């Protein structure tokens, strides 16, 4: 079995996965969303303190598996340095105590592996990765080969939902609450322009859209619940159209597309986006792969799933040399 730890942002999570058949034996996550909600975003030092409390608590529950552990995996990049270090320190201590090798895992590769929890991986695929820290389209050839086809120039897709929610006073994280409000709103009330629509650039940008939302909010004297719902719906429609517009362009411009289109990351839980991608995949005669909702946001099961592949190739990380890198994409990653 392999024990995996995730603490790159505001979720403390540990999983135990069987290496042979990928079966998940234990998986627990303690989310800090409520603690950060009043600040409208993640406060790194508070997050680190909460991980220091939560991780040992979860670890206590998986003690029965210690004797069977063949490796310890941990997210070491990208993420918040002060929170990554909590998981990495625990992983190093476990490796020493149990005389097991360490697998440092790139968080984004973990998100991609979330598609294959308790399953075999299928490749190649075009993958849209939408999280709080990243917005990328990748050509994924295997668990180990990634090519970035497009990425954001500024804010990420998920982050833009967080910022809109903050401006509307709806708390953190913004994604789920903005999606809920959008269901009651008129998506055509505000005519937000789709970012980079007239540009040929294969890239994303969300900072301008955020500004358009800010101006719309400022133009209303007293914002009522319907105004908020209409802003959320119009924003969500535009944010998703932007993803679809560039994704379509990528699929059209490539001479040969793989048969699979997939979407991963915390924001891939968005139902409106899933729906639109379902249609897009049909238009391009592709199969759409989605992770189960419980594995979209940060979790240790996805880190464990990726680590199994690394373990099989003996891609271990020296416990004295493991690096914490706040900003590394999976294509540039030096870790397993």
Interface of this chain with ligand KG4, residues 78 to 137, rule: CB under 6 A: 131-133
Under the binding rule (CB under 6 A), the answer on residue 75 touching ligand KG4 is no
CB of residue 236 vs ligand KG4: minimum separation in angstroms? Answer: 8
For position 162 contacting ligand KG4 by CB under 6 A, the verdict is yes
10 binds Zn ion (CB under 5 A): no
Report what 162 binds from Zn ion, ligand KG4, none; CB cut-off 5-8 Å by kind.
ligand KG4
The number of residues that bind Zn ion (CB under 5 A) is 2
- Compare residues 272 and 284 and give the one whose CB is closer to ligand KG4: 272
Angle between helices 81-98 and 44-61 (to 10 degrees): 30
Q: Lay out the site mask for Zn ion across 110-139 (x = CB under 5 A, - = otherwise).
A: ---------------------x--------
Q: How far is the CB of 106 from ligand KG4 (least distance, A)?
A: 12
Contacts of 13 (CB under 8 A, 6+ apart): 5, 6, 7, 27, 28, 29, 30, 58, 298, 299, 300, 301
| End-to-end Cα, the chain, rounded Å | 18
Cα 79 to Cα 102: distance, rounded to the nearest angstrom: 19
Q: Establish if 298 lies at the interface with Zn ion (CB under 5 A).
A: yes
- Site mask, ligand KG4, residues 187-226, x = CB under 6 A? ----------------------------------------
What are the tokens at 291?
Answer: 């992770």
For residues 73 and 94, which CB has a smaller minimum distance to ligand KG4 in the complex?
A: 73
Burial class (CB in 10 A: 0-12, 13-18, 19+), 2: buried
Cα angle 333-335-336, degrees, rounded to a multiple of 5: 110
Nearer to ligand KG4 (CB atom), residue 236 or residue 257:
236
- Pick from 110, 195, 258, 266 the residue near ligand KG4 by CB under 6 A: 266
Partner in contact with 62, chosen from ligand KG4, Zn ion, none, beta carbon below 5 to 8 Å by kind: none
The site partner of 171 among ligand KG4, Zn ion, none (C-beta below 5 to 8 Å per kind) is none
Residues in the chain: 336
Of 36, 18, 35, 39, which is closest to residue 27 (Cα–Cα)?
18
Min dist CB 297 to Zn ion, Å, is 7
DSSP three-state, residue 224: coil
- x-or-dash pattern for ligand KG4, window 290-309, by CB under 6 A? -------xx-----------
Q: Which does 269 bind (CB under 5 to 8 A by kind): ligand KG4, Zn ion, none?
A: ligand KG4
Using CA atoms, how far residue 70 sits from 26, 82, 260, 266, in Å, is 15, 27, 33, 29
Question: Is 40 one of the binding residues for ligand KG4 (CB under 6 A)?
Answer: no
Judged by beta carbon, residue 86 or residue 298, the one nearer Zn ion is 298
Comparing CA positions, the residue from 98, 93, 66, 96 lying closest to residue 1 is 66
Q: Which two tokens stand for residue 42?
A: 């993640």
H helix count then E strand count, the chain: 10, 11
Determine the Cα–Cα distance for residues 210 and 310; give it in Å rounded to an integer: 39
CB 245 within 8 A of CB 278: no
Q: Which of residues 12-71 bind Zn ion (CB under 5 A)?
A: none
| Contacting residue, 87, 101, 104, 158, with ligand KG4 by CB under 6 A | 158
Nearer to ligand KG4, 77 or 162 (CB): 162
The 145-152 sheet, strands edge to edge? 203-204, 145-152, 135-142, 125-130, 260-264, 287-290
Query: Residues in the site for Zn ion, rule: CB under 5 A?
Result: 131, 298
Query: Residues in the site for ligand KG4, rule: CB under 6 A?
Result: 9, 131-133, 158-159, 161-162, 173-176, 179, 265-267, 269-270, 297-298
């Amino acid at each position: 079995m392999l024990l995996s730890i995730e603490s790159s942002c505001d979720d403390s999570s540990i999983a135990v996965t069987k290496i042979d058949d990928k079966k998940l034996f234990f998986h627990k996550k303690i989310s800090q969303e409520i603690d950060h909600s009043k600040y409208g975003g993640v406060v790194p030092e508070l997050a680190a303190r909460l991980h220091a409390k939560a991780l040992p608590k979860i670890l206590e529950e998986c003690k029965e598996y210690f004797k069977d552990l063949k490796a310890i995996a941990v997210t070491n990049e990208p993420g918040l340095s002060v929170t990554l270090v909590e998981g990495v320190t625990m992983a190093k201590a476990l490796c020493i105590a149990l005389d097991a090798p360490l697998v440092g895992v790139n968080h984004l590769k973990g998100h991609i592996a979330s598609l294959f929890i308790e399953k075999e991986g299928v490749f190649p695929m075009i993958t849209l990765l939408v999280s709080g820290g990243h917005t990328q389209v990748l050509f994924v050839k295997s668990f180990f080969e990634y090519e970035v086809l497009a990425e954001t120039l500024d804010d990420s897709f998920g982050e833009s939902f967080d910022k809109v929610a903050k401006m509307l006073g709806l708390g953190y994280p913004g994604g789920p609450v903005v999606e809920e409000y959008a269901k009651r709103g008129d998506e055509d009330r505000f005519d937000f322009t789709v970012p980079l629509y007239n540009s040929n650039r294969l890239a994303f940008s969300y900072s301008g859209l955020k500004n358009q939302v800010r101006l719309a909010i400022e133009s209303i004297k007293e914002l009522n619940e319907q105004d908020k719902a209409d802003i959320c719906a119009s924003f969500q429609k535009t944010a998703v159209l932007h993803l679809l517009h560039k994704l379509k362009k990528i699929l059209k411009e490539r001479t040969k597309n793989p048969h699979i289109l997939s979407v991963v990351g915390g924001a891939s839980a968005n139902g409106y986006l899933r729906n639109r991608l379902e249609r897009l995949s049909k238009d391009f005669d592709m199969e759409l792969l989605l992770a189960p909702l419980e594995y979209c946001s940060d979790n240790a099961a996805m880190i464990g799933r990726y680590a199994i592949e690394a373990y099989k190739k003996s891609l271990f990380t020296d416990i004295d040399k493991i690096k914490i890198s706040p900003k590394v994409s999976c294509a540039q990653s030096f870790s397993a």
